[in-house]
Amino acid sequence: MLFFRLTATAPGLVRAAKPLFVRLAYCFSSTIRNGTAANAQRIFGYPLTSRQRRDFALGVTGYFYEFVFDIGRSLRATPADLAQRIESVEGHERYVAARASKRGAILLTAHMGSFELGVAALMERERRIHVVFRRDRFAAFEQLRQTMHQRLGVVEAPLDESWTVWLRLRDALQADEVIAMQGDRVMPGQRGMDLPFLHARLALPTGPVKLASASGAPIVPVFSIRVPDGRVRIFVEEPMEVPNPLDEQALQNTMQHIAAVLEKYVRAYPEQWLVLGPAFVDDAH
C-alpha cells in the first residue's frame, strides 16, 4: 500500500527508485530469474547467454514496474487525465466499423502495456464497458483496482464470482455493450486450448470465443504498447466473427487466429509481455 500511496503523492520519487527496485527484484527473486529465462527461450527460439537472459529479465521487470506505477497514478486521475497518457490509436476505423453493427464487442487483449489506459481510450464513446478479471489474492491490491475501476466508470465482472457472470456478459453484449478481457492466459477455473505459439505451446482461454458465438458479438483484438516517452499507443486489429453454432473445427480455427494475433505482439514487444513466471505449457511443472 505504501508504494501506491507514494505513487499518487510523490510520483517523482517512485520514478527515481525504479532502477534500484528492478535490480533488487531480479537479484532476490528466483521466480523472476527462472521464469523470464524460460520464457525468453520459448520466445526467441535459441539459447541466450547469461547476459541476454539478465537483460531480458530486467526489461520485463521494468515494464511490470511501469504497470504498477500506472495503477498508483490512476487512483486520483479522471478518465480525461488517463486519456492524456494515450499517444495515439492505430486502427481506430476498425473499431468504429465493428461497433456499427450494434452487436456489442469483445475487446480481447494481452498482459501488455496498461489495460486500464486502453479502457480509458474507449470510455468517451461507450456508455458501458464491462471489465472481466480475476480477483487478486492480495486484498489491498484488489481494493486499489476496485477504486480505479470505479473512477473509470467501468462495470466489474469477476470470473471467480460464479458461472452466472457469463450469462450477465452475454446479456450485456446483446444490449450492445462492450466487454474487455485478457486472452493470453488461462486463469484457474477457466477452460483452455494448447496452441503453437512462437517456439513452444501456450494455453489460451476458449471462453471469449464461446461467448462471442453465444452472443453474436465480434471479437476485436486491442493492444496497449508503451512508447519511449512513457505514454501508450493503442493498436486495434481486424475484428473476428465467430459462427453459431460453434463446432470443434470453428473453435480450433478461431483460437489459432487469436494465437497468431497475440504472437505478433509478443514477438514485436517481448519485454512488454508482463509474465514473470513460466508462461508456456512446455515449462509447466
- Residue 128 CA: distances (Å) to CA of 215, 258, 267: 17, 25, 32
What are the grid coordinates assigned to 103, written together?
452487436
127 pLDDT higher than 90: no
| pLDDT tens per residue across span 92-121 | 999 999 999 999 999 999 999 877 777 767
252 versus 230: which is more confidently predicted?
A: 252
Residue 108: DSSP 8-state: E
At 273, list the grid cell.
Answer: 509481455
- What are the Cα distances from residue 96, in Å, to 92, 93, 101, 210, 239? 6, 5, 9, 23, 11
Residues 184-208: tens digit of each pLDDT? 999 877 899 999 999 999 999 999 9
What's the CATH code, domain 2-283? 3.40.1130
The string of pLDDT tens digits covering residues 253-262 is 999 999 999 9
Nearest to 121 by CA among 180, 176, 38: 180
Task: Give 35 or 117, the one with higher predicted confidence.
Answer: 35
Q: Residue 222: in which H helix or E strand, if any?
A: strand 219-226
Average pLDDT estimate for 65-90:
81
Q: How confident is the model at residue 164 (pLDDT cuts 50, 70, 90)?
A: confident
Sign of CA dihedral 24, 36, 132, 234: positive
Q: 282: buried, middle or exposed (CB in 10 Å: 19+, 13-18, 0-12)?
A: middle
Q: How many CA atoms lie within 13 A of 150 on its CB side?
A: 8
Q: Are strands 129-133 and 178-182 parallel, antiparallel or unpaired?
A: parallel
* Span 170-178, average pLDDT: 95
263 three-class SS: helix
